[in-house]
Amino acid sequence: MYFCSVIDMIMLEKYLQIIEESFSGYFNYLVSEITNPSWTNYFYWLIGLSLLVWLLEIFIPWRKNQAIFRKGFWLDSFYIIFNFFLFSLVGYNALSNVGVELFNDFLGLFGIKNIVAIEVQDFAVWAQLLIMFFIADFIQWNVHRQLHKKPWLWKFHKVHHSVKEMGFAAQFRFHFMETIVYKTVQYIPLAMIGFGIEQFFVVHMFSVFIGHLNHANLGWSYGWLGYILNNPKMHIWHHSKELPKEHPYGMNYGLSLSIWDYLFGTAYIPKNGKNIELGFHGDENFPKSFQEQLAYPFKKTQKTTQK
Ligand SMILES: [Zn+2]
Ligand SMILES: [Zn+2]
């Protein structure tokens, strides 16, 4: 008994130390990101890509009567800062480091030290990036479908679907639980393939760029490339308030790629979706402020109904 509790104490101390180091480590990282611009700097790439897509919206808008500071613009701008930076700073980084350590310790119980099943480190960098991008996106497509189908996940995902006017920043209006769900599901398969951390940067920023464009007020579909890449004219239907009978939970689940929707029969673009109504049934009762939206899924009484 005594021996056990000493072990427990040592383990607990280890996890607490990871949490503490994650917090201070991430804070130092964040400060150095802002003070040291470089070509692999998340902060400046995010600002640069956001300004670029916003300028495109201003100069060549799809819905010409939509305000530059559209409905929800400031809320979504805050979501960008929160979901891209602060959430990692205040919690996710610490949580995920503990999660990874717990997972490794759990594997250690079975004598497994390394879960890398496929070595891709020897491949050319572009091939590694492409493989990682496709696998990560396919996993996300599956997770996104579950966010619509499972009622408890839909409560969290409603935050993203509460967007009433589309613009690039809407990409980042989502509940922080989504980060936890997506990252957890992605972690094991990606770790098994043995990708290096440096590959994440390029793939991550490319996905942010495509995601910004998908939500932007731009009438683009990229021609034949639209069957591979998700695009604004396709993603707007994902936000449609009215759902067709054949897709009662939704359609166009793709994040960066549209190919999965075409392959698995969930693609749906019946006409030009420029002015369709966005949201979900009952969204008029959905909270409008950041704090209320974060609290919403945890409340027992749900005012709005599922689609
Ligand atoms: Zn969705
Ligand atoms: Zn969206």
**3-state SS, residue 229:** strand
CA 147 to centroid of ligand 1, rounded, Å: 7
**3-state SS, residue 240:** strand
User: Residue 240: phi, psi to the nearest 5?
Assistant: -60, 135
Instruction: Name the average pLDDT for the chain.
Output: 86
Closest-approaching ligand to the CA atom of 148: 1
pTM of the model: 0.83
CB 14 within 8 A of CB 93: no
Closest-approaching ligand to the CA atom of 171: 2
**Structure confidence at residue 195 as a pLDDT band (50, 70, 90):** low
Closest-approaching ligand to the CA atom of 214: 2
Which of 15-19, 202-206, 236-240 has the weakest average pLDDT?
15-19
CA 12 to centroid of ligand 2, rounded, Å: 39
- Structural domain includes residue 131: yes
Share of the chain above pLDDT 90, in %: 56
CA dihedral 190, 192, 196, 202 (to 10 degrees): -20
CA 238 to centroid of ligand 1, rounded, Å: 6
CA 80 to centroid of ligand 2, rounded, Å: 14
Residue 8 vs residue 60, higher pLDDT: 60
pLDDT number for residue 243: 97
CB 132 within 8 A of CB 195: yes
**Structure confidence at residue 84 as a pLDDT band (50, 70, 90):** confident
Number of domains within the chain: 1
Which of 45-54, 117-126, 217-226 has the weakest average pLDDT?
117-126
CA 143 to centroid of ligand 1, rounded, Å: 10
pLDDT number for residue 307: 46
CA 253 to centroid of ligand 1, rounded, Å: 6
Rounded to whole angstroms, how far apart are CA atoms 195 and 118?
9
CA 106 to centroid of ligand 1, rounded, Å: 33
Closest-approaching ligand to the CA atom of 213: 2
Q: Is residue 292 left, alpha or beta, with left meaning phi > 0 and alpha meaning psi from -120 to 50?
A: alpha
For 81, how many CA atoms within 13 A lie in the half-sphere containing its CB? 6
The secondary element (H helix, E strand) that includes residue 259 is helix 259-264
Contacts of 162 (CB under 8 A, 6+ apart): 173, 279, 280, 283, 286, 293
- Structural domain includes residue 269: yes
pLDDT number for residue 7: 66
- Structural domain includes residue 306: no
- Structural domain includes residue 84: yes
pLDDT of residue 1 exceeding 70, the answer is: no
* DSSP one-letter code for 172: G
- Structural domain includes residue 250: yes
Alpha helices in 36-175 (DSSP H): 42-59, 73-81, 87, 93-109, 125-149, 151-161
CA 206 to centroid of ligand 2, rounded, Å: 16
Share of the chain above pLDDT 70, in %: 83
- Structural domain includes residue 124: yes
- Structural domain includes residue 302: no
* Digit-coded pLDDT (tens) for 276-291: 999 999 999 999 999 9
**Domain housing 280:** 1-297
CA 158 to centroid of ligand 1, rounded, Å: 8
Closest-approaching ligand to the CA atom of 166: 2
pLDDT of residue 11 exceeding 80, the answer is: no
- Structural domain includes residue 249: yes
CA 303 to centroid of ligand 1, rounded, Å: 20
